[in-house]
Amino acid sequence: MVIAIIFDVSEKLDDFLKHDVPMREIVFDYYINFVFFYANMFSPLLVFLSVIIFTSSMAFKSEIIAILASGISFNRLLLPYFIAGTFLALVSFFLNHYVVPHASKERLAFEHAYVGYHTKNPRRDLHKQISPGHFIYVENFNVDRGIGYKFSYEILESDSLKFKLLADYIQWDTASNKWEIRNYFIREFQNGHQKLHGGKVLDTNFIFHPMEFENKTDNTAMMDTPELNQFIKDEQLRGSELISLYMVEKYQRTAMPIATYILILIGVSFASRKVRGGIGLHLAISVAICFIYIFAMQVTKVYATNAGLDPFIAVWIPNIFFGILAIYFYYRAPK
* Tens-digit pLDDT profile for residues 132-144: 788 888 888 877 6
In a domain, 222, yes or no: no
* Tens-digit pLDDT profile for residues 256-309: 999 999 999 999 998 888 777 667 777 888 888 888 888 888 888 888 877 788
Average pLDDT over residues 35-54: 88
Distance between CA atoms of residues 154 and 20, nearest Å: 47
pLDDT of residue 218: 63
Distance between CA atoms of residues 37 and 19, nearest Å: 24
Q: How confident is the model at residue 119 (pLDDT cuts 50, 70, 90)?
A: very low
Q: Is the pLDDT of residue 196 over 80?
A: yes
Quote the domain boundaries for residue 145. 123-213
In a domain, 73, yes or no: yes
Q: How many domains does the chain have?
A: 2
pLDDT of residue 257: 92
CA 146 to mean position of chain CA atoms: 26
| Percentage of the residues of the chain whose pLDDT score is greater than 90 | 24
In a domain, 223, yes or no: no
Residue pair 181/151 in contact by the 8 Å Cβ criterion:
yes
- Residues 259 and 309 grouped into a single domain: yes
HEC secondary structure over 41-90 = HCHHHHHHHHHHHHHHHHHHCCHHHHHHHCCCCHHHHHHHHHHHHHHHHH
Q: Is the pLDDT of residue 225 over 80?
A: yes
Strands 123-131 and 193-204: unpaired
- Residues 8 and 103 grouped into a single domain: yes
- Residues 108 and 92 grouped into a single domain: yes
What's the mean per-residue pLDDT of the chain? 85
pLDDT of residue 277: 64
- Residues 105 and 188 grouped into a single domain: no
- Residues 111 and 7 grouped into a single domain: yes
Distance between CA atoms of residues 59 and 67, nearest Å: 10
* Tens-digit pLDDT profile for residues 122-181: 567 777 777 778 888 888 887 767 888 888 988 888 778 888 999 998 988 878 888 889
In a domain, 219, yes or no: no
In a domain, 233, yes or no: no
Quick check: helix, strand or coil at residue 61?
coil
* Tens-digit pLDDT profile for residues 76-105: 999 999 999 999 999 999 999 998 888 888
- Residues 275 and 198 grouped into a single domain: no
- Residues 101 and 136 grouped into a single domain: no
In a domain, 138, yes or no: yes
- Residues 179 and 83 grouped into a single domain: no
- Residues 111 and 243 grouped into a single domain: yes
- Residues 184 and 320 grouped into a single domain: no
Residue type, 231: F
- Residue 121 DSSP code: P
- Residues 200 and 249 grouped into a single domain: no
| Model pTM score | 0.72
In a domain, 191, yes or no: yes
Distance between CA atoms of residues 335 and 161, nearest Å: 71
Residue pair 257/93 in contact by the 8 Å Cβ criterion:
yes
Residue type, 242: L
Distance between CA atoms of residues 280 and 170, nearest Å: 62
In a domain, 190, yes or no: yes
- Residues 145 and 104 grouped into a single domain: no
Residue pair 202/184 in contact by the 8 Å Cβ criterion:
yes
Q: Is the pLDDT of residue 106 over 70?
A: yes
